[in-house]
Chains A and B, each alone.
Chain A
Amino acid sequence: MSRTIVIDPVTRLEGHGKITLKLDDAGIVQDAMFHVTQLRGFEKFCEGRPFYEMPNITARICGICPVSHLVASSKACDAILAVQIPPVAANLRKVLNLAQLVQSHALSFFYLSSPDLLLGMDAPPEERSILHLAHSHPSIAADGVALRQFGQRIIEIMAGKRIHPGWTIPGGVNEPLSAEKRDRILGMIPLAVAAIQRTLGWFRKEIEKFSAEIEVFANFPTLFMGLIDDRGLAEYYNGALRVIDSEGNIIAGELDPAHYASFLGEEVEPFTYMKFPYYKPLGYPGGAYRVGPLARLNLAGRCDTPLADAEWREFRATSARPLLSSFHYHQARLIEMLHATEKIEALLADKGILDKHVRAIASVNNSEGVGVAEAPRGTLIHHYKVDENGLIRWVNLVIATGHNNAAMNRGILQAARHYVQGEHIAEGMLNRVEAVVRTFDPCLSCSTHAMGQMPLTVELRAPDGSLVREVRRG
């Protein structure tokens, strides 16, 4: 493998993953690397485009979470317009963003991870899929499909289509919500809440079988970062960034997301196209942090909706300090789905949600704009610079999966050290290493057609770099 070329800009995200494990003479894993081997190029080819095209262009980064990019991008464009968008527009974007969270979490939990959880890490690979679950655990599979549909339907009702809708625009949203649409969404909520609660019920029992995995699935101290509102509660659209350490101490309480570059650095490693963001005051790699569902629930004061708050309290009561094993991302995802569903209901129950003034109109008033929102996988940052006519001159995207890059790499190393013995790679080991990555729900999985597994290559290399064994799947 060539290790000599560093390509900048690095944009990526979805795509194919590769893991390299380096062994010493005794066959002990010395190093592990998680490679993202695809270059996407968005940061470069957006240059020269009118800034208001950015929500639409960047939404194409991902077919799973296009809404997250729409929202972060629209916020960056709002900053270029230098407008405060109408409150109803912000609330409509929030609903859309939360619906996105539900459908993406449902995909991650049910389609990608639940086969491991229900059938076991050592189940035959051909059985570890949502299709098999439809036979073995039909009601759970049905809940998964229904919850994904719930999120996607909200997006479709509000924004016109499920994937890559163009409804969120600089300055607000494209059209007001009708009472009929609102009522259709509200009508779907009780079933969604019931399905999430059923899932939390069985997950709490299943998790007891995974104490060994919890121990070694990226279970180590890191910082955690995520948005909070002005009360310190979980926030997905606005707010300030909070950073906590592994003991739960708030080391940065209210960082302004617009100034992310002053406290977040990005390191480049030669073995992957994915950058390694870190918290600048602690340097690299000491400033590695995690984002996403687990981070958000670790650092927020609580969720701010009754059912989710009850779940959050129980979840957090299992540990005096922040939960450190990435295995807990799964449960955090379920709690967030519950919170998002309750929050959607609360936002839609407000009469003001039907307000017709949904867009602020302005031209270019700032040469630079940063938009930050919580995507399903964590904090998403869009940063643009434009010329006087609003044509893009420079783009930086810091994507949720990237924040977790360092933790994913360390997590793979931890799991590999535990499970890989000598030269022998058992299928179950491969799946566990894969499952560590999957707890983070990196966007790599989005672009694959396989269900429940990524096209993953594990290479076992001797100290001299020679390939001992390679296992491929996908």
Chain B
Amino acid sequence: MSAEANIRTLTIDGADISARADQTILEAAREHNIAIPTLCHLEGLSEVGACRLCLVEVKGARRLLPACVTRVEEGMEVTTHSAKIDRYRQMILELFFAERNHVCSVCVANGNCELQNLALELGMTHVEIPYQYPQLPVDASHPRFTVDHNRCVLCTRCVRVCSEIEGANTWGVMGRGAQSLVITDLKEPWGESETCTSCGKCVQVCPTGALFEKGRAGTRTAKHPEFLPYLRIMREGDQP
């Protein structure tokens, strides 16, 4: 197949764009500096379409589609911002805040939190949905790291990085819906996990203060997930 045959042309927000056939709407948009908010997406990890913040309108589709897992198609007409999309994204964001206990003022991630940044970007001024205030555990059994489920948004970045990059498969998800929890091994205390290599990648990719380094609360420590694409490229280079 020729290179040309792999190219698709489409419009995003009225702009004519060409993209490779294996690219998603999100990838094509970001290549052309068109902003689409995301939370579960992280460059270097597989896509799961969990957070739904990247919903876009595609002409002809009856519902909004997640840009991170929808491939570009020839002649596609994509809208990334409209009153309807903004309303949906706002609602999704409010659901995140209402679902668990996100208290920015005393959070280790305050100032370096992707959820907080999204609230600012999307202009969330308040949460109309009643807060659920679930009573969720904090696991501080690991010598270096802590998981606070109160701040988890179930993006599964930790699960993916542990599986896809570190290869340890320590993290998993248990339960269903809002009751889901990320767990280490078979829900053993993190400090007792036999598979965890203590590499800390999960902490670095966590978008909120759910996973953090001990003793750093209140110090506004930034996370550094940017190592991921490099790691991935280097590992792919090692393949026979």
Interchain CB contact under 8 A, A390 and B218: no
Interchain CB contact under 8 A, A389 and B141: yes
Q: Which residues of B contact A48 (CB under 8 A)?
A: 137-138
Interchain CB contact under 8 A, B218 and A166: yes
Q: Which of B45-63 contact A (CB under 8 A)?
A: none
Complex Cα–Cα for A107 and B179 (A)? 48
Q: Which of B206-226 contact A (CB under 8 A)?
A: 214-220
For residue A50, CB closer than 8 A to chain B, the reply is yes
For residue B146, CB closer than 8 A to chain A, the reply is yes
For residue A430, CB closer than 8 A to chain B, the reply is no
Interchain CB contact under 8 A, B138 and A56: no
Bits for A162-184, please: 1 = Cβ < 8 Å to B, else 0: 00101101110010000000000
For residue B33, CB closer than 8 A to chain A, the reply is no
For residue B140, CB closer than 8 A to chain A, the reply is yes
For residue A133, CB closer than 8 A to chain B, the reply is no
For residue B6, CB closer than 8 A to chain A, the reply is no
Could you tell me the distance in whole angstroms from the C-beta of B56 to the nearest C-beta in chain A?
Answer: 38
Could you tell me the distance in whole angstroms from the C-beta of B222 to the nearest C-beta in chain A?
Answer: 13
Interface of A is mostly: loop
Interchain CB contact under 8 A, A391 and B106: no
Q: Which residues of A contact B137 (CB under 8 A)?
A: 48
For residue B105, CB closer than 8 A to chain A, the reply is yes
Q: Which of B116-173 contact A (CB under 8 A)?
A: 137-141, 143, 146, 148
Complex Cα–Cα for A55 and B105 (A)? 12
For residue A53, CB closer than 8 A to chain B, the reply is yes
For residue B44, CB closer than 8 A to chain A, the reply is no
Q: Which residues of B contact A60 (CB under 8 A)?
A: 105-106
Q: Which residues of B contact A361 (CB under 8 A)?
A: 215
Complex Cα–Cα for A169 and B217 (A)? 8
Could you tell me the distance in whole angstroms from the C-beta of A78 to the nearest C-beta in chain B?
Answer: 12
Residue from B110, B138, B191, B216 in contact with A49 in the complex, judged by beta carbons closer than 8 Å: B138
Q: Which residues of A contact B106 (CB under 8 A)?
A: 53, 56-57, 60
For residue A363, CB closer than 8 A to chain B, the reply is yes
Interchain CB contact under 8 A, A50 and B219: no
For residue B28, CB closer than 8 A to chain A, the reply is no
Using known A-B contacts A56-B106, A60-B106, determine if residue A50 contacts B218 with beta carbons closer than 8 Å.
Answer: no
For residue A52, CB closer than 8 A to chain B, the reply is yes
Using known A-B contacts A53-B108, A57-B106, A60-B106, determine if residue A169 contacts B219 with beta carbons closer than 8 Å.
Answer: yes
Interchain CB contact under 8 A, B140 and A170: no
Interchain CB contact under 8 A, B218 and A56: yes
Bits for A44-67, please: 1 = Cβ < 8 Å to B, else 0: 000011101101110010000000
Complex Cα–Cα for A174 and B218 (A)? 9
Closest-by-CB residue of B relative to A160 is B220
Closest-by-CB residue of A relative to B217 is A53
Q: Which of B194-240 contact A (CB under 8 A)?
A: 214-220
Residue from A56, A166, A167, A391 in contact with B140 in the complex, judged by beta carbons closer than 8 Å: A391
Closest-by-CB residue of A relative to B110 is A166
Could you tell me the distance in whole angstroms from the C-beta of A60 to the nearest C-beta in chain B?
Answer: 6
Interchain CB contact under 8 A, A363 and B219: no
Interchain CB contact under 8 A, B219 and A389: no
Q: Which residues of B contact A52 (CB under 8 A)?
A: 214-218
Closest-by-CB residue of A relative to B190 is A389
Interchain CB contact under 8 A, B138 and A391: yes
Q: Which residues of B contact A167 (CB under 8 A)?
A: 218-219
Q: Which residues of A contact B141 (CB under 8 A)?
A: 389
Q: Which residues of B contact A391 (CB under 8 A)?
A: 138, 140
Q: Which residues of A contact B148 (CB under 8 A)?
A: 50
Q: Which residues of A contact B220 (CB under 8 A)?
A: 166
Tell me which of A55, A56, A167, A389 has the highest count of chain B C-beta atoms within 10 A of its own C-beta: A389
Q: Which residues of A contact B108 (CB under 8 A)?
A: 53
Using known A-B contacts A50-B217, A52-B215, A389-B191, determine if residue A164 contacts B138 with beta carbons closer than 8 Å.
Answer: no
Complex Cα–Cα for A390 and B108 (A)? 16
Complex Cα–Cα for A391 and B110 (A)? 20
Q: Which residues of A contact B219 (CB under 8 A)?
A: 166-167, 169, 174
Closest-by-CB residue of B relative to A359 is B215
Using known A-B contacts A389-B141, A391-B138, A391-B140, determine if residue A50 contacts B214 with beta carbons closer than 8 Å.
Answer: yes
Q: Which residues of A contact B215 (CB under 8 A)?
A: 52, 169-171, 361, 363
Given A49-B138, A171-B215, 13 other A-B contacts at CB below 8 A? A50-B138, A50-B140, A52-B216, A52-B218, A53-B106, A55-B217, A56-B105, A56-B106, A56-B217, A166-B218, A169-B217, A174-B219, A363-B215
Which residues of B approach A to under 8 Å, CB–CB? Answer: 105-106, 108, 110, 137-141, 143, 146, 148, 191, 214-220
Could you jot down 19 A-B contacts, CB within 8 Å? A48-B137, A50-B140, A52-B216, A52-B217, A53-B106, A53-B108, A55-B217, A55-B218, A56-B105, A166-B219, A166-B220, A169-B215, A169-B216, A169-B217, A169-B218, A171-B215, A389-B139, A389-B191, A390-B214
Which residues of A approach B to under 8 Å, CB–CB? Answer: 48-50, 52-53, 55-57, 60, 164, 166-167, 169-171, 174, 361, 363, 389-391
Give the 7 A-B CB pairs with smallest separation, nearest first: A166-B218, A56-B218, A389-B140, A53-B217, A57-B106, A56-B106, A174-B219
